[in-house]
Structure 1
Amino acid sequence: MTSRGNRREIIFESDDGRRAFLSVFDEVCETFNRECGAYCLMSNHYHLLIETPEGNLP
């Protein structure tokens, strides 16, 4: 999965923003039983490798 800021604008202005994103992402993974295999946070986008152990995607 990848996501980019509008018009390639910055979405992470600081390391605090990256940490906040990872904290929320961790909560989401726990809530929906997802496993993160890898991630890369850039200033204007991110990449996520997410596994779904239950195979329950609609």
Structure 2
Amino acid sequence: MNRGGDGGRINIFHSEDYYLAFLRALEESVNRFGIVIHGYCLMANDYHLLIETPHANLSRTMCHINGIYEN
């Protein structure tokens, strides 16, 4: 789970384009890190991921997802 600033009161997804950019970052992470996405939920001010990391690389994966999406 990751939330927007100010205790989750600030939106991180402002339009459909933001959601699509995040989904592209997830797809890239599957290809780059070999993660398995079992489920996800995207809301305006946060997201939840249910992922499996067969290569013990959760930290690198999340840094990658958040780094791509923030840019």
Output the TM-score relative to the length of structure 2.
0.71
1:11 partner SS: coil
Work out the CA distance in 2 between the residues paired with 1:47 and 1:33.
19
Of all paired residues, the percent bearing the same amino acid is 42
Work out the CA distance in 2 between the residues paired with 1:51 and 1:30.
13
1:36 partner SS: strand
Q: Which has the higher strand share?
A: 1
Work out the CA distance in 2 between the residues paired with 1:49 and 1:26.
14
1:5-24 to 2 correspondences below 5 Å: 5-7=4-6, 8=8, 9-24=10-25
1:15-54 to 2 correspondences below 5 Å: 15-52=16-53, 54=54
Q: Which amino acid aligns with 2:48?
A: H
Output the TM-score relative to the length of structure 1.
0.85
Q: CA RMSD in A?
A: 1.2
Larger radius of gyration: 1
Moved over 3 A (4+): none
Q: Which runs of 5+ in 2 are unaligned?
A: 58-71
Q: Which has the higher helix share?
A: 2
